[in-house]
Amino acid sequence: MRSKLLNKRISPALTSALAMSLLVACTPDQNSSSPQQATAEQLQAPTQASTGRGAPFPATLENYDGYPEEQFVGSVTPWYWEVGTTASGGDVPEGILALERDLFTSNDFYVDKDLWMDPRYYRCNSPIALDSINGDYSSGPSAIDNNDPATAAWGNCERDYPRAAIISPYTFSTAQEHYEALLAESGWQTLHTKTSLPDWNGRYSRNLDLAFARGRRGEISANLTTEYFEPPQWVVGWANQMPTILSLLTAEYQQRYVQQMYHKANTNSAQFSLMFCRPEGLLRWWSGPGGPRPLDITVVPGRVQFMGGTDNALRQIQIGREFIIDDDMQNVVPRLGQDVRQWMGESIGFWDGNTLITWTSNIQGWFTHSSWEYSSQLQVIEIWSERQDAEGNFLGLEHESIFYDPQAFLEPVRDMRFFSRLGDYADFPPINHSHCNQTIFHDEDGRAAQVSPGTTIDYTVRDLYDRPWAQIWEEYFEEGMSRPQEDDSLGGFR
């Protein structure tokens, strides 16, 4: 039986606030036979509001059941096996006035800066659609004909997930402020013993993966009950127009993001980290293909361990520890050891009853599929809360994440998702550690090419901490472009 520490009723504000925000979001049509409405009416009303967790969404969400076929923005959406093309082969959707030049026809995206905030510049494709439009994903078709970017398909110009639902609803400017406020709000951390710890041990699945599986089977709806709902996973890149994500970023990181999408969709020079056996970085934990799938959670006194995700993603939360904070040193972030950035960062945390609150810092800047680049100033606050059904049965864990990155973001942003508990460790095969054996290298044209064993090639060792993907793009594909001079020294991560 799951412990209830000191008979404290565990009903986090996050659970009830999310549930209430989704009551409006997910109410089915009157003619629907879905059980969602009945389930929703049984959910509890919000408890006392928190200053730093569980805030309801400021925008009304549309119907979302895990497989939102009416919400996909791009012309193609990999993993879901969804095609949403509104025009292809160089044609333009009815009622849309195309730009004279766009991401697919431009020979210099730098001079197009005045167009970057126009969805038509990307033919109304979402970030993940741009990332996959050349057919690089086995789970999604190409939307370009004969390798000619000018034929790129259009997405859905009328669709977009609102910026207001992405930015953090909290007033904190730093992760440190946020963490300390939650700690003070809790009345100090709960000191669990081995017997009082919540029984979270076992295997979990993202709701996103449930939707992926249904898409692969050709089903048009996930048919999840309201208890299992979560907001659209905007970090994955399917729910937004490009300008909406750009509006979250500083000018420097806007340029980096457009550069990334230009060379993925126009020059077709993929720079996925894993294909070159490079580290995947922390943000991959929130991405479509690399997020923890499955996820094994182990809870012991003094530590919570998350095992799951691409590239042997192992995250350990050090319970009750404190970061080293050097306020007088420029660009030094809170850390547990030496001032050396870690690919998955370092994490501390505390228990507030059966809710786990964590702070991750000392992260190495990087980028992942369809997502923006993040700097080495990135820090993340995460809140893990139990979700229960109306009868009090444990369903899984809500995961609220607030991202702070003063180099990349104009203001903090938030993501919320749900991990369903599948069962005990013994119910499933163990997670196998993967080992990357590089077989793909850059050819003489700067594009990725398979190299057979025994082949001798010229190989340039790139500086892993100086944006190696951008080094390739700028060397092979940007000759003659008008890259701003002041941005030439941006390389690397601050």
DSSP for 298-327, written as a single string: EEETTEEEEE-STTT-EEEEEET---B--T
Burial profile 63-85: b = 16 or more Cβ within 10 angstroms, e = fewer: bbbbbbeebbbbbbbbbbbbebb
Structural domain of 464: 440-487
Lookup: tokens for 176: 């440190």
* Three-point CA angle 428, 295, 357, nearest 5°: 140
Spatial contact of 315 and 292, defined as CB atoms under 8 Å apart:
no
Residue 391 φ/ψ region, left for φ over 0, alpha for ψ in the -120 to 50 degree band, beta for the rest: alpha
In a domain, 48, yes or no: no
Amino acid residing at 305:
Q
Backbone angles phi, psi at 334, to 5 degrees: -55, 140
Tens of pLDDT, residue by residue, the chain (494 residues): 333 332 222 333 334 343 333 323 333 333 333 222 222 222 223 345 789 999 987 666 555 545 567 788 999 988 777 788 999 999 999 999 999 999 999 999 999 999 999 999 999 999 999 999 998 887 778 899 999 999 999 999 999 999 999 999 999 999 999 999 999 999 878 889 899 999 999 999 987 777 666 655 555 555 566 777 788 889 999 999 999 999 999 999 999 999 999 999 999 998 888 888 888 899 999 987 777 878 999 999 999 999 987 767 899 999 999 999 987 767 789 999 989 999 999 999 999 999 999 999 999 999 988 899 999 999 999 999 999 988 999 999 999 999 999 999 999 999 999 999 999 999 999 888 778 889 999 888 888 889 999 999 988 888 999 999 999 999 999 999 999 975 544 556 66
On the CB side of 86, how many CA atoms lie within 13 Å of its CA? Answer: 18
Q: Where are the alpha helices (DSSP H) in 144-246?
A: 175-185, 207-216, 242-246
In a domain, 448, yes or no: yes
Spatial contact of 121 and 265, defined as CB atoms under 8 Å apart:
no
3-state secondary structure of 413: strand
Spatial contact of 379 and 174, defined as CB atoms under 8 Å apart:
yes
Task: Give me the torsion for CA of 103, 105, 109, 114, rounded to 10°.
Answer: -70
In whole angstroms, give the CA distance from residue 341 to residue 418. Answer: 29
Chain center to CA of 337:
27
Lookup: tokens for 48: 């006392």
Lookup: tokens for 102: 């766009």
DSSP assignment letter at 135: S
pLDDT tens column, 375-402:
999 999 999 999 998 899 999 999 999 9
Is the C-alpha dihedral spanning 177, 183, 184, 186 positive or negative?
positive
In a domain, 454, yes or no: yes
**Rg (the chain; Cα; Å):** 23
pLDDT at position 37: 26
Chain center to CA of 349:
21
Cβ within 8 Å of residue 191, ≥6 positions away: 320, 351
pLDDT at position 290: 72
* Three-point CA angle 361, 421, 357, nearest 5°: 30
Return the number of other C-beta atoms located less than 10 Å from residue 429's C-beta.
8
Q: Where are the alpha helices (DSSP H) in 224-312?
A: 242-246, 251-265
Spatial contact of 135 and 260, defined as CB atoms under 8 Å apart:
no
* Pairing relationship of beta strands 346-352 and 314-319 according to DSSP bridges: parallel
Spatial contact of 81 and 214, defined as CB atoms under 8 Å apart:
no
In a domain, 419, yes or no: no
pLDDT at position 355: 95
DSSP assignment letter at 247: T
Task: State how many domains the chain has.
Answer: 1
Spatial contact of 37 and 27, defined as CB atoms under 8 Å apart:
yes
* Three-point CA angle 41, 46, 48, nearest 5°: 165
In whole angstroms, give the CA distance from residue 417 to residue 167. Answer: 15
In a domain, 464, yes or no: yes
Return the number of other C-beta atoms located less than 10 Å from residue 118's C-beta.
15
In a domain, 173, yes or no: no
pLDDT tens column, 320-339:
999 999 877 677 899 999 89
In a domain, 248, yes or no: no
In a domain, 366, yes or no: no
Q: How far is CA 183 from CA 18, 352, 370, 379, in A?
A: 21, 8, 34, 17
My answer on whether omega of the bond before 484 falls inside 30° of 0, hence cis, is no
Q: How far is CA 415 from CA 59, 118, 121, 412, in A?
A: 14, 24, 26, 11
